[in-house]
Amino acid sequence: MSWTRESVYLMIAVLGGLLGFGIWYDRLAGRLERHDQAAGYRAILTLGGVTATGMGFVVVVRSVELGVVLMACFCASGLPMIVGEMRRAMDRRREEELELARAAREAMDVER
């Protein structure tokens, strides 16, 4: 890729757009976390950011083929993390439910 004045301006525009997206996306993730809606989905939130970055890359290098390679690499490394995060979140929820059930049984035993 040769750096022309046009390509530099394009790069600056894409980086500015990705910066704005990152700020907005961080606020969205923070809102979800405050309402306890992000548990188990943080990796998917990360996937959204990675996808936006990949799209910016495609615009700058002007090559869908390179973008596909980049996204395939991200998928290969990210898929295990997404599955793992969701599995850990389900395990935490299951443990919380079991703890609540134990506490309820103990409370009922105390009342007798």
Whole-structure pTM value:
0.70
pLDDT number for residue 32: 85
In a 3-state reduction of DSSP, which class is residue 40? coil
d(CA 30, CA 53): 20
**Quick count: other Cβ atoms within 10 Å of Cβ 5?**
7
pLDDT number for residue 70: 93
How open is the CA angle 81-72-33, to the nearest 5 degrees? 35
Token reading at 112: 């007798």
Place of tokens 């996808």: 51
pLDDT number for residue 46: 85
pLDDT number for residue 107: 86
Tell me which residues of the chain have a pLDDT lower than 50: none
pLDDT number for residue 109: 81
pLDDT number for residue 112: 64
Q: Do the Cβ atoms of 47 and 25 come closer than 8 Å?
A: no
Domain residue ranges in the chain: 5-111
